[in-house]
Amino acid sequence: MADKLKIGVDYYPEHWDKSLWKNDVRLMKEAGVNIVRMAEFAWSRLEPSEGVYSFGWLDEVISLFEEAGIEVFLCTPTSTPPQWLFEKYPEVIQSDRNKNRIPTGIRGHRCLNSPVYRKLAEKIIIKMVERYKDKKCVTGYQIDNELEANHCFCPVCEEKFRKWVISKYGTTDKLNKAYGNNVWSGEFSSFSQVKPPYGGHQQWLNPSHTLDFCRFASDSTADYVEFQYNLVKSIDKNALVTTNCWLCENMPDFYKLFQKLDFVSYDNYPALKLPEDKETLYSHSFHLDLMRGIKKKNFWIMEQLSGATGGWAPMAQTPRPGMLRGYAMQAVAHGADAVLHFRWRSAISGAEMFWHGIIDHSNVPGRRFEEFKQLCADIAKYSSIAGSQAKNSIALLYSSEHEYALKLQPQTEGMYYFGQLKSLHDAFSSIGLGVDIISEKEDLSAYKIIAAPTLFITNHEVAESLYKAARNGAAVIITNRTGVKDEYNKCVMQQLPSVYSELAGIHVAEYDPAGSGKLKLDIINKEWKQRYNKQYNPSPYCTQWCDLLECISAAPLAVYGGEFYKGIAAVTHNKYGKGNVYYIGTVMDRQSYISLAKVIAGEAGMQYIDKLPPGIEITQRYSTDGSKKWQFIFNNTTSRKEIFINGKNMEIEAFGMEIVEIEM
């Protein structure tokens, strides 16, 4: 169990004249900082030429933090190889889909599979960890920085992908059958013909082939992380080891990426300008719950919003009063035991000079610094929360498999995998219920409600797990675009939702990829209709996708209100075993999801808050011995809100957080 909550900053001493260091450390200590992260981009300063090392400057600044009693978390600097390395070893540079080496000069432009690169990375990592293994203030290492799946098309990756395919399928006959290579004369007669999906127009290529390359790219990154983890631990077995992630373009499989690591770390940049459209979901509570669910334990924030963001895009507005403090506490509420702000001071050079830190270019501490100081005081006040855990009865299932496949073959305009997940997460969050976002392969026995949206790629073990959960009394929610593909990304030759048809008690007779237009949705279930809040949306509607449902054993809860399928079931309920199964065949407006969540929660015997003001988020963390819990009430809006909770009225300012300690 963590002994205290950690609050700190990302610091780049190599960017600043050393005359600033002492005062920076003094000011951090005065503010209440108890941890700093350093060195993720400092390879060229640590090894200015091959085999020539310069750690003296880092020794000096670490000593300053040690004297101040501030913990130091270092990073392996492998995200930014020096220019001498690219010049001398150009084969380590990533190749694009056309086999061209990509331009260098920014960061991350190295192939994670390159044996030459790994050998050079190993040397700098060994030097760093051996140097600081006995420094008590240095407690651990972040591996690299914001790793994406290794979408590299160099000769090394071509050969490794070929070996990955051979290992998976064994024979070309099995491979051809799995991929459906009888289409367009795609059959392989030899494994020598297997190559990465080169060239543009990726959506013209065989989706089975491109999905496997996505899997390989993810596995390559997980293997790279394991390589660094084993290296660090072989030198300093007591060091904590993690890596930081974000929801990037080419996301790796997070469950594999963090499998060996001590904890998950995330880079958290919530919305600076809140949308006026009430249908737009902006809360990062979804991201935070996703991070907590990767290892089903608490996590760290390695980069937290500190100021206006910008650089390669126009600057966003500056954080409004309360945002910096509120968003950090929101992370704590969802399971963060450490929050480090990016960054201490805004850079004065480089691509990120307008991605603002706590202190502006002027180097004069201002409003955001004062708010950060107050946040540090809050963290110190509630330090006993450290190590307490979130425990929820609702699970939301996630898999990178579906995300990869749906990116490769988008189903209709405006429809995204994460959109379906966020809508269901928001629905239960909006009635005061916590949600665990977990791998679809996790044990589900502890959950009363299991939302499993868009199970696009069929995994039969997952299907059996959901059948079992329903038989045992859980409420199960499945949605459109479920059961569409087999494990090889080929369409199944069954009525949808294929393997889930018996569970849902329906067949999809036909579907309409409706796109971005809106279609009236008629809620015919009396309880659901009563709970629909017309104050926020006058009437229910659906959009993007319409499954035309034929009820076998299920009963319709809502029907379409227009088009040639007017009156046909859109949302259904089926009794299965001791449980209830809900099928959502379309994409609904926000209030439809929220009001349906009330029906489902009520049927599951869960207490919820019927009239929780929009934007109010309620989460719980429980002590490990079960003797107490902390209730976090966060106002994630731009205006003061009133709420009746725990038998009393409460007013919470914009982006304010109230924490209630409750003895169990």
Structure tokens at 25: 């450390």
* Cβ proximity of 570 and 521 under 8 Å: yes
* Cβ proximity of 324 and 306 under 8 Å: yes
Where helices occur in 236-338 by DSSP H, the ranges are: 254-257, 285-295, 323-333
Residue 184, SS3 per DSSP: helix
Closest by Cα among 516, 134, 437, 418 to 264: 437
What is the C-alpha separation between 352 and 337, in angstroms, rounded?
Answer: 27
Sheet of 240-242, strand order:
240-242, 138-142, 71-75, 35-38, 6-10, 336-341, 299-304, 265-268, 244-245
What is the C-alpha separation between 41 and 77, in angstroms, rounded?
Answer: 5
**CA R_g for the chain:** 26
What is the C-alpha separation between 555 and 552, in angstroms, rounded?
Answer: 8
Structure tokens at 94: 């990533």
Closest by Cα among 223, 117, 75, 97 to 160: 223
The DSSP line for 527-578 is HHHHH--TTT-SS-EEEEEEEEEEESS-EEEEEE-SSTTTTSEEEEEEEETT
Helix (H) or strand (E) holding 398: strand 394-398
CB atoms within 10 A of CB 161: 23
- Counting other chains too, the contacts that 239-243 makes at CB distance below 8 Å and 24 or more residues apart are 239/129, 239/133, 239/138, 239/139, 239/140, 239/141, 240/73, 240/139, 240/140, 240/141, 241/140, 241/141, 241/143, 242/140, 242/141, 242/142, 242/143, 242/300, 242/302, 243/142, 243/143, 243/144, 243/145, 243/147
For the chain, the straight-line distance linking the first and the last C-alpha, in angstroms and rounded, comes to 19
Q: Rounded to an integer, what is the distance from CA 482 to the centroid of its chain? A: 22
Q: Hey, which residues are catalytic here?
A: 146, 303
* Cβ proximity of 9 and 44 under 8 Å: no
Residue 156, SS3 per DSSP: helix
What is the C-alpha separation between 604 and 602, in angstroms, rounded?
Answer: 5
Give, in degrees to the nearest 5, the angle at Cα 627 between 623 and 631.
60
Helix (H) or strand (E) holding 475: strand 475-479
DSSP 276: S
What is the C-alpha separation between 343 and 36, in angstroms, rounded?
Answer: 10
What is the C-alpha separation between 47 and 83, in angstroms, rounded?
Answer: 11
Torsion of CA 544, 545, 546, 547, to 10 degrees: -170
What residues pair up with 7 in beta bridges, in sequence order?
339
Q: Is 357 exposed, middle or buried (0-12, 13-18, 19+ CB in 10 A)?
A: buried
